[in-house]
C-alpha cells in the first residue's frame, strides 16, 4: 500500500477525544499487517514521506521566534509541533491540539527536541480548549481538510491569536506555504509565499 493510501486508511477506527466523535468509513482495515496502530503507522510510514518535508517548508514560512507562544491545530503525531518547539526555544510555549487520542499518544512517545516543552492537548479545532488571544502564531498543517466545520475552525484560530499574531498553513500549491497576519482591526491577511496578499477574515 502506498503512503497516501495508508494515511487514508489510517483515519479508520480511531476514537475521537472525550468519546465525542469516532471516525469511521465503510472500509475496515486490518492494521496489524503493518505491525502497529494506525497512528504508529502514520508516524512510521507516512510522516517521513509527505508531512515531514512539507512541515519543514511551512516552518520556514511561519518563522516562529524565540519566546513566542505557538499553537499547532490538528497536530497529529507532532512533526510540525516539534519543529516549532525548537524555534521558540525554552523561553517560548508550544501547544499541540488534536482530535485523535492515538495520534497524541504517539506524539507524547517521541523524544522532545531541545527547546520549549510541548503541551499535547486533546481537542476539536471547531472549539479549541484554549483562551482568547493567547498565541502569537497558529499553525495548521494537513489538518483543516479533515475538519467538518472549517469556518468554525478558522474562527477559533482567529480567536486564540493575539492582536498582531500570525497564522500559517500550507498553500494549495504543493510545496508552498501561506502566512497570515492578524491586524489590529481583527482581519487576517493571508500572504501567499512571495507574492499576492488576500484578506481571509
Ligand atoms: C493528516 S493528519 C496531519 C497531522 C499533522 N498536522 C501532520 O502534519 O502530520 C490530520 C490530523 O487532523 C486531525 N483532526 C481531524 N479533525 C480534527 C478536528 N476537528 N480537530 C482537531 N484535529 C482534527 C486528525 O486526528 C489527524 O491527526
Going by alpha carbons, the residue nearest to atom 10 of ligand 1 is: 143
pLDDT of residue 28: 59
Q: SS3 string of 10-71?
A: HCCCCECHHHCCECCCCCCCCHHHHCCCHHHHHHHHHCCCCHHHHHHHHHHHHCCCCCCEEE
Q: Average model confidence (pLDDT) for the chain? A: 78
**Structure-block grid coordinates of residue 198:** 488576500
**Structure-block grid coordinates of residue 41:** 503507522
Is the pLDDT score of 175 beyond 90?
Answer: no
Helix (H) or strand (E) holding 155: helix 150-160
* C-alpha to C-alpha distance for 43 and 47, rounded to whole angstroms: 5
- Give me the residue spans of the domains in the chain: 3-46, 51-200
The Å distance, Cα 29 to ligand 1 centre, comes to 19
Report pTM.
0.80
Q: Is 132 exposed, middle or buried (0-12, 13-18, 19+ CB in 10 A)?
A: exposed
Is the pLDDT score of 174 beyond 60?
Answer: no
Q: What is the pLDDT of residues 134-172, one digit of tens each?
A: 999 998 888 888 999 988 988 898 889 887 777 766 665
Considering the four listed CATH numbers 3.30.70.890, 2.40.50.140, 3.40.50.150, 3.40.50.180, the one that applies to the domain covering 51-200 is: 3.40.50.150
The Å distance, Cα 98 to ligand 1 centre, comes to 6
Predicted confidence band of residue 57 (pLDDT cuts 50, 70, 90): confident
Is any ligand 1 atom within 6 A of the Cβ of residue 87? no
Task: Output the CA torsion sign for 64, 136, 18, 169.
Answer: negative
Amino acid at each position: 500500500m502506498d503512503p497516501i493510501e495508508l494515511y487514508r486508511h489510517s483515519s479508520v477506527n480511531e476514537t475521537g477525544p472525550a468519546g465525542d466523535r469516532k471516525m469511521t468509513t465503510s472500509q475496515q482495515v486490518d492494521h496489524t499487517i503493518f505491525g502497529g496502530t494506525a497512528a504508529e503507522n502514520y508516524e512510521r510510514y507516512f510522516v517521513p514521506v509527505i508531512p515531514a518535508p512539507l512541515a519543514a517548508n511551512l516552518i520556514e514560512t511561519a518563522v516562529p521566534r524565540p519566546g513566542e507562544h505557538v499553537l499547532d491545530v490538528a497536530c497529529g503525531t507532532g512533526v510540525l509541533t516539534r519543529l516549532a518547539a525548537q524555534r521558540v526555544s525554552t523561553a517560548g510555549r508550544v501547544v499541540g491540539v488534536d482530535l485523535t487520542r492515538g495520534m497524541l499518544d504517539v506524539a507524547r512517545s517521541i523524544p522532545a527536541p531541545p527547546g520549549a516543552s510541548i503541551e499535547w492537548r486533546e481537542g476539536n479545532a471547531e472549539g479549541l480548549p484554549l483562551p482568547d488571544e493567547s498565541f502569537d502564531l497558529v499553525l495548521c498543517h494537513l489538518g483543516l481538510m479533515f475538519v467538518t466545520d472549517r469556518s468554525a475552525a478558522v474562527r477559533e484560530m482567529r480567536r486564540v491569536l493575539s492582536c498582531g499574531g500570525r497564522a500559517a498553513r500550507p498553500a494549495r500549491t504543493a510545496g508552498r506555504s501561506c502566512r497570515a497576519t492578524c491586524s489590529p482591526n481583527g482581519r487576517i491577511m493571508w500572504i501567499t509565499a512571495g507574492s499576492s496578499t488576500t484578506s481571509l477574515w
